[in-house]
Structure 1
Amino acid sequence: MGPIEEKIDLESDEEIPLNSSQTTDKVRTFDFETSHIGQHANISKSWAFKRMWNRPLCSIHTVLIKAKINMLLPFGPLAILLHYLTGKHGWVFFFSLLGITPLAERMGYATEQLAFYTGPTVGGLLNATFGNATEMIISIYALKNGMIRVVQQSLLGSILSNMLLVLGCAFFTGGIVHHQKVQVFNKAAAVVNSGLLLMAVMGILFPAVLHFTHTEVHFGKSELALSRFSSCIMLVAYASYLFFQLKSQQTLYNPIAEERDNNAEDSDEEEVPEITHWEAVGWLTILTVWVSILSGYLVDAIQGASDSLNMPVAFISVILLPIVGNAAEHASAIMFAMKDKLDITLGVAIGSSTQISMFVIPFCVVVGWFMGKGMDLNFQLFETATLFITVLVVAFMLQDGTSNYFKGLMLILCYLIVAASFFVHVDISNGDS
């Protein structure tokens, strides 16, 4: 038993150094792996840090630098400097217009990016809403300063610009690009929008007729009361329209099958967002604030610009301001028409006109009511007649559900007639001479 026990002890003694060396090797291996993991962690942290900074830089490049129209952005700060240094309203107005133009276009871009995450129907509504944000901001500033005629004329001009100039340019360019075929769109949706526009004309027409026929029960009061009542009705109608569009009859606003088939292959490649959801929201907030700041200087310079440029305030309000405010709609409508997506084009142009006439104008009346301003729907006889004829012309253009470059050319020429009419129009209520 003794030798056996000694042998066992020897074996156990011999195994101890072997186990110690293995343990040492394992410890060294563990230390190496730990240091290797630490290096990976440092690299990951460095990469995450770079990515955290690269993402905002890429977003800034995409939104503020990539587009060529952003070359006009410096005119905004320059307008503010001119306002405080020189006080020349003509230059302040001109530079403010140039400065707001890229902001309006970029707001449209950010809205389109946000639409990728919300779906086509809600995206179209967002596009129309933020596309009209510039006009609404300018209107609120003008209303706050008591410039009711500027509010009325700028909103009227936005409707005319969308229906004649924007839609006309879209039809014309789309017809030129696709001259070998007749472009088609969803006629049912166009008819619904035409009906809403005619309802808006009705709401605007009756206060003007009541005023100019001198048939008010209480002179100066019945007209305002009717305007406020009609505005509330129009807001209810627009809310019903949104429910009809988003919930009740969604299929009515789907693109027609033929257009969907033609663009099925391209849709996957084209519809790729360039910025994230929260980046789009952030940029919309920043751009809205900047537009609000510039709008204040723009509104303050309107009267001075009219005097220095020898240009009627009516022409500035109806023609120049809406062209700037509709920059986003103009670019989007033409782009979609060239891609043979006329349903989206109509949603941008006619949908925007519908929203202004059925929501923005009544909303301004209600806001003026709470602000103690006498904002009403009496747009005066000349402006109301212009709107009525424009809605009729566009409704006839849309009734067959087709588009070509000749229709677009006619709409553009109609807009030139309207522009010339307001250039020679004397707005007595605004003090033009």
Structure 2
Amino acid sequence: MENKGGRRLNVDTQPSYQLEMFENKGHISISHSHLEMGKLDGQFEHEFEDECCVGPSSLIRNNSSPEIENHNESFSNAGEKCSISYMKYRAFRSLNIILFSAKINLLMPCGPAAIVVKCLTGQHGWVFLLSLLGVVPLAERLGFVTEQLAFFTGPTVGGLLNATFGNATELIISIYALKKGMIRVVQQSLLGSILSNMLLVLGCAFFCGGIVYNKKDQVFNKAAVTVNSGLLLMAVMGLLFPAVLHFTHTEIHLGKSELALSRFSSCVMLVAYTSYIIFQLRGQNRSYDGDTEHGESQKDEDEEVQISKGEAIFWLAIVTIWISVLSEYLVDAIEGASKAWNMPIAFISVILLPIVGNAAEHASAIMFAMKDKLDISLGVAIGSSTQISMFGIPFCVVIGWIMERHMDLNFQLFETAALFITVLVVAFMLQDGTSNYFKGVMLILSYIIVAASFYVHVDPTSEENSHRN
């Protein structure tokens, strides 16, 4: 290489360490300038990015330099700050989604208010009302968290989760009532959930959908309805025989045969419902699976997961515990509320508890019907009734067996007749696979007749059964 003077310069004679020092100085000055800019901006994320611009070779060769040691310390501090800040962000985001994303969460303060009223005044009417209202948003959030968790578990486990936690609120209330020995309250509340889902929820869905689409008949999948109707009739059969055995006085062992038959029938019904769930999850006939269609349609609308798997498990535990706490206050206040409001316990158990406890499901069924998605509405209403009758009631009988509570399937003739007629009415309404607002009106009016009947009905065996053992 020659310069302007014609003399040749030998670059090879230049010391190599000068180039390395030049490179190191350049890196150090660049990183130093970037750090100053990061401090001026006040954002540790910028500092983290600028630290990544520093060459690894310069850091290795100059790890003994005080400036580089300071950079390493700032790098680790930035990472710790970043992780802590990210954890705080995730926590606040998860809390915001659970507590503030649904308008129905405005009722959440009713739960703590019920506890305060119980401790200060002991007025059972207000405690019952506030506990009942406080359970409403918790039941809706429990369903939301279960659906979020199903995104991470796959369709098989997700289906089992939905089947388990779909009516968890009713089951928790029933277990607390069973623990208190209030067997008739358990029977009547579960019966009321079936009646309200089949008549009130389905009737409102048909009526609202028919008003929106008044120029046509809405259609739905008859195959799924046929299978659910068959399961409901099987549940009626399981409840009918113990009642008939009791009132005809044809037991071999008086008072024991009825209980033994109820426990045996409950085990058979649980086996039948488990077979039904397995049949659905294996996908042998997807047309029967109303719950799967419900999940798929929701995934179409909510395509992204809103909370992580760990957050879903955490909130599932928190919501379940809080429902359990309020359920205890709710059950303890039922008898006091009955006296304070001058209202039969049968009416409170069959009508009030299911209407308020299933308010979130009622709203979702109506909403889907107004979007012309009747299969989902039927999955919410008829599917929930099937789950309670074939799983919830037998499950409580088995739990009572374990707890040495003599709960049986003898729902008395009045309640059994109401269930049997309701199943027949709904089966006839659904047999043609179409719906309109007039069918909705008939179902709603039928529910009003049932509600009026329970308002004037006094259960003669309520005190006897509530104090057994």
Same structural fold, with TM-score higher than 0.5 when normalized by the shorter chain: yes
- Where 2:271 maps in the other structure, the secondary structure is helix
Correspondence list, 1:136-151, <5 A: 136-151=171-186
Using the alignment, how far apart are the partners of 1:326 and 1:431 within structure 2?
Answer: 27
- Where 1:428 maps in the other structure, the secondary structure is coil
Deviations 1:77-98 (A, max 9, x none): 1111111211111111111111
Return 222-231 or 35-44, whichever deviates more. Answer: 35-44
* Structure 1 pair 277–334 and aligned structure 2 pair: CA distance change class (3 A): farther
2:238 aligns with one of 203, 206, 216: 203
Deviations 1:227-246 (A, max 9, x none): 01111111111111111111
Aligned length: 416
- Where 2:239 maps in the other structure, the secondary structure is helix
Tell whether 2:102 aligns with 1:73. no
What letter is aligned with 1:335?
A: M
What letter is aligned with 1:253?
A: Y
Deviations 1:344-379 (A, max 9, x none): 221111111111111111111111111111000000
1:62 aligns with one of 97, 104, 122: 97
What letter is aligned with 1:368?
A: G
The residue that corresponds to 1:99 in the other structure is 134
**Contact residue 116 and residue 271 of structure 1 kept, 8 A:** no
1:30 aligns with one of 27, 32, 37: 27
Correspondence list, 1:327-406, <5 A: 327-406=359-438
- Where 2:461 maps in the other structure, the secondary structure is helix
Using the alignment, how far apart are the partners of 2:448 and 2:359 within structure 1?
Answer: 18
Tell whether 2:214 aligns with 1:214. no
Using the alignment, how far apart are the partners of 1:123 and 1:175 within structure 2?
Answer: 32
Flag structure 2 segments of 5+ consecutive residues without an equivalent: 1-7, 36-46, 52-74, 465-469
Using the alignment, how far apart are the partners of 1:240 and 1:135 within structure 2?
Answer: 23
Shift of 1:185: 1.4
The residue that corresponds to 1:4 in the other structure is none
The residue that corresponds to 2:334 in the other structure is 302
Correspondence list, 1:106-145, <5 A: 106-118=141-153, 123=158, 126-145=161-180
For normalisation by structure 2, the TM-score amounts to: 0.82
Using the alignment, how far apart are the partners of 1:193 and 1:388 within structure 2?
Answer: 14
1:83 aligns with one of 75, 94, 118: 118
Q: CA RMSD in A?
A: 2.7
What letter is aligned with 2:213?
A: H
Deviations 1:243-272 (A, max 9, x none): 1111152422367xxx99xx99x9745433
The residue that corresponds to 2:219 in the other structure is 184
**Contact residue 168 and residue 412 of structure 1 kept, 8 A:** yes
The residue that corresponds to 2:62 in the other structure is none
**Contact residue 227 and residue 288 of structure 2 kept, 8 A:** no
The residue that corresponds to 1:321 in the other structure is 353
* Structure 1 pair 268–223 and aligned structure 2 pair: CA distance change class (3 A): closer
The residue that corresponds to 2:207 in the other structure is 172
Using the alignment, how far apart are the partners of 1:20 and 1:226 within structure 2?
Answer: 95
2:307 aligns with one of 261, 271, 275: 275
2:264 aligns with one of 214, 217, 229: 229
* Structure 1 pair 267–292 and aligned structure 2 pair: CA distance change class (3 A): closer
- Where 2:189 maps in the other structure, the secondary structure is helix
The residue that corresponds to 1:5 in the other structure is none
Deviations 1:189-246 (A, max 9, x none): 1100000000000000000011111111111111101101111111111111111111
Q: Percent identity, aligned pairs only?
A: 68
Flag structure 1 segments of 5+ consecutive residues without an equivalent: 1-9
Using the alignment, how far apart are the partners of 1:149 and 1:406 within structure 2?
Answer: 35
Correspondence list, 1:13-52, <5 A: 19-32=16-29, 39-40=48-49, 46-52=81-87
- Where 2:282 maps in the other structure, the secondary structure is helix
